[in-house]
Amino acid sequence: MTDATAPAPPARALSLARIEGALPWIALGLVGLLLPLLDDSYIGVIAQRAYIYWILSAGLNLVVGYAGQIAIGWVSMLTLGAYTTAALTAGTATPAWHPYLALVAGGAVGALAGVVVGLPALRLRTFYFAMTTLGFATIVTQVALAWKDVTGGGVGTPGPVFPWPFDPGWGFYYFCFILAALATWMTANLAASRFGRALVAIRDAEVAAEASGVAKPRLLIAVFLFAGALGGVAGGLFASLQSYITPDAFTFEMSVLFFIAILIGGRGSILGPALGTIVLTVLPEFAAPLVQWSTFLYAALLLLIVLIIPGGIADLLDYKNRRPLERHREIVPQPELLARVLDRRTGGEVLSLSDVELSFGGVRAIAGLDLEIRPGEVHGLIGPNGSGKTTTLNVISGYYAPEAGQVRLGDAVLPPRAPHLRADYRIARTFQTPRLIGGASVLDNVMIGGTIDGEGSFAESLLTLPRHRRDEKRLREAAMLALAVVGLDQLAAVRADRLQHSELRFMEIARALMLRPACLMLDEPAAGLSADEIRRLGALIVAISREGTAVLLVEHHADLIFDICDRVTVLNLGKVLAAGTPAEIRSHREVVSAYLGA
C-alpha cells in the first residue's frame, strides 16, 4: 500500500508484538501447570495463595491501575466472600449450601459490595472513595466480630471444603490455577477493549472521556461489579485454603499488599501487577525473621514507589517508549482522505443557540446570545478575553446549563448539564489545553473518540465474543484513517505524552473526527502552532467543513479566522457585537476599535 491510501496498521508487526506480549504469560502458565510435579505441598500452598491474591488483584487492577480509583480497602471483598462462602456451606444462617454454589454466592455478595462501596467514586473526589473503602473494610471486620451466630465472632468459623473434582490438595490447586488464569484472561480482554481505554481515559483525561460519550457512572459500576465479584470468589477460595477463618485473618495490611502489588507493577499493565503479586506473596517466605516487620516494609516500599517511581516497574520496562523519536517531525495532513472518515449522512443539521443567558455570580458571561452554525461552513467566534467564547463552547458541550434560552441541533433541544450525551448528537470538540490520555498510545487516544460506535457489551468484551472483535477492528481502522487525515499516522504507537504540543492539537482533531461529527467545535486550535502548521490546519478545517460538518472555531489568530471562515461572530461582554462575512467584519467600525485594532 502506498502512503496516500495507506493507513492500516502493519499487520505483521502487530501480531509479532502480540506474541512477544504473550510469552511471559505462557511461561507463567507452564510453571503453574507443571508445579504439582514437584509434589511439594508447601510450595503448593504458597502458589495457591498467590493465585487467590491475584484473582482479587486482577479485578482491583482495573479499579486502581486502569480507572485510577484509589481503592485502599478492597480486602473487605475478600472478607465478605470468605464469610459468605463459609457461612453458607456451614449452614449457620440458612440451610447448608453446596460449596460450589456458596462460592458463587460469595462472588455475588462481593459484586454487590463492590458497587455499594464504589458509589461515591461515581461523582466524588478521589479521597472520599479511598475513605469509603477504608471505612467499609473497618466495618466488615467489626460486623464479623459482632455477628457471632453466623461468623463465630472472634473464635472464627471453618472454611468450606470443596468436593471432587477440586478437592483439597492438587485438585484445589488446579481450581485456583484455572480461576486465576480465567481472571487474567478476562481482565486482559477488558483492558484491551473500548471499556479498558475508557477507564484509562477517565483516569487521565476525564473531560475528554466525557466529550467522547463515555458514561463514567455506568462504566465504573460495571467495573466495580466485576472487581467485587473477583474479590468475593477469591475470598471463598481463601476461606477454603485457610480451612479456618477469623476476623484477624483479614487485616487492613493485606489490602496494602494488594495495592502495592499493583503499584509496583505499574498502572495500566496486567503483567506487572501479576508479577508484583507473586513476588509479594513469595517474599515473606524467604524472610522469616522479618515477618513481624513485613507490613512496615510494605508500607515503606509503597512510600518509596510513590515518591520515586510513580509509574511502577511497567514504566521502567517500557523500553519501546524510550527510543528517541525523530527530531524534526512534520505534520502533513491528508484532507483528501476525509471522505472516508466522515459520513455525509450524519451532517446537514444546524446547531443553533437562541437567547442563551448565563451568569457567574454577578458577572454576566453570556447575555442573550443567538448563534447559528450551519453545516458545510466554518463559523468563527472571536472577541477579547472574557467576552464569553469558551463559555459559549461549554454551554454547547453541556458543561454549563444556560439560565435562559436553548441550544438546538436541528430540531432537537440539547439537554443541559450532560456533556457525556453530546457525542450521541455527533457534537465533537477539542480543548483549549489538549486533553491527552498521557499513558496511552496516540492510537488509543484517538480510538476513544469512537467509543459510542461500539456495539458489543461489557460482558462481550470480557469474553472477546465476535461483536467485540468486530468493534475493535472497525475502531482501529477508523482511528488509523483519522490519524492519516491529520498527518500523525506514523506516531500511532507512541505514548501520547511524548508528542509535541502542536501534534497534540492535531491528535485531538483526529479524536473528534472519530465521531463523524455533525458539528465540530475547535477551541483555539492554532495556539502554539508554527505559521506552516497554522496554514495546514486551516486547509484541514476547511476540508472538514466541506464534507458537510458544521465547524465552530474559537480563535485569536485573526489571519486564520479571516482566511478560512465563511461567517464570523464577534462577541463582547457576552453579547454579539457584530456578525457577518469576514469582509464585513474586517470593516466593521466597532470591531476594529474594540478588538482588531486599527
Residue with smaller CB distance to other proteins, 9 or 68: 68
Residue with cell 463552547: 393
Whole-number Å distance between alpha carbons of 451 and 101: 37
Identify the helix (H) or strand (E) that includes residue 211.
Answer: helix 206-211
Residue number, 82 or 484, with CB nearest to other proteins:
82
- Residue 84 beta carbon to other proteins: minimum distance, rounded to whole angstroms: 15
Residue 531: CB partners within 8 Å, gap ≥ 6?
A: none
Minimum distance from residue 67 beta carbon to other proteins (Å): 12
Does residue 111 contact residue 225 with C-beta atoms inside 8 Å?
Answer: yes
| Minimum distance of other proteins from residue 389's CB (angstroms) | 12
Nearer of residues 302 and 350 to other proteins, judged by Cβ: 302
Cα(548)–Cα(546) distance, rounded to whole angstroms? 5
Give the DSSP H or E segment for 576: strand 575-580
Q: Output 365 or 484, the one with its CB closest to other proteins.
A: 365
How does strand 157-158 pair with strand 244-245?
antiparallel
395-412 core/surface letters (b: 16 or more CB in 10 A; e: else):
bbbbbbebeebebbbeee
Identify which of residues 268 and 335 has a Cβ nearer to other proteins in the complex.
268
Residue with cell 489571519: 559
Question: What phi and psi values does residue 90 have, to the nearest 5 degrees?
Answer: -75, -20
**In whole angstroms, what is the distance from residue 338 CA to residue 483 CA?**
11
Task: Kindly tell me which of 254 and 482 has the beta carbon lying closer to other proteins.
Answer: 254
d(CA 449, CA 508): 9
Query: Cβ 429 to other proteins, closest distance in Å?
Result: 9
Three cell numbers written together for 418: 450532560
Which residues lie near other proteins (CB under 8 A)?
A: 70, 72, 116, 119-120, 123-124, 126-128, 130-132, 134-139, 142-143, 146-147, 207, 252-253, 256, 259, 263, 292-293, 295-296, 298-300, 302-303, 306-307, 310, 390, 394, 397, 399, 431
State the nearest-atom distance from the C-beta of 341 to other proteins, in Å.
Answer: 25
Between 185 and 252, whose beta carbon lies closer to other proteins?
Answer: 252
> Count of CB atoms within 10 A of residue 589's CB?
8
Q: Least distance from C-beta 56 to other proteins, angstroms?
A: 19
Angstrom CA distances, 87 to 100, 175, 239, stand at 13, 21, 10
**Shortest distance (Å) from residue 302 CB to other proteins:** 4
Choose between 162 and 431: whose C-beta lies nearer to other proteins: 431
Distance CA 577, CA 568 (A): 11
Contacting residues for 487 by C-beta, under 8 A, at least 6 apart: 330, 331, 332, 333, 334, 506, 536
Beta bridge partners of 157: 245
Q: What is the rounded distance in angstroms from the CA atom of residue 198 to the CA atom of residue 66?
A: 9
Q: Smallest gap, in angstroms, from Cβ of residue 5 to other proteins?
A: 37
Q: How many Å apart are CA 517 and CA 545, to the nearest integer?
A: 10
The CB-of-242 to other proteins minimum distance in angstroms stands at 20
Q: In angstroms, what is the minimal distance from the CB of 422 to other proteins?
A: 12
Rank residues 295 and 321 by Cβ distance to other proteins and give the closer one. Answer: 295
| Nine cell digits for residue 39 | 509434589
Residue 397 vs 441, nearer CB to other proteins: 397
